[in-house]
Amino acid sequence: MIDLMTFNHLGALLKFLPGWGCSLRFAVITDVAATNNLGSEGIYYWLGAAKTHFFIDPKEKIIVIFMTQTFSSTVKSYNKVKQIIYQAIVN
């Protein structure tokens, strides 16, 4: 069921957003290099109201919930948290 929920059902329809897709409930990263983002292919995530974000990286077995409850921009903070998490991974 999780595989079905997180599979990119749009295929290549999001040509204006290379490397991104959309599943039944989440946004999905299909090509990390094309997105210029940190992480692994197969990450699924959602950006909620009042800057409540989460992402799940099945390959690295990471679940991150980032809740700020503000309507001002938190993109820099979110990206910094993501950077710190991926730098901490030791293979």
Residue pLDDT, tens place only, 3-47: 888 888 877 666 767 888 888 788 898 888 988 888 889 999 888
Residue at token pair 């950077």: 83
What is the torsional sign of CA 21, 4, 84, 66?
Answer: positive
* Residue span of the structural domain in which 9 resides: 2-88
Tally of domains in the chain: 1
Residue at token pair 């991104």: 20
Q: Per the structure block, which two tokens stand in for 53?
A: 């974000």
What is the per-residue pLDDT for 57?
A: 94
Q: What is the pTM of this model?
A: 0.77
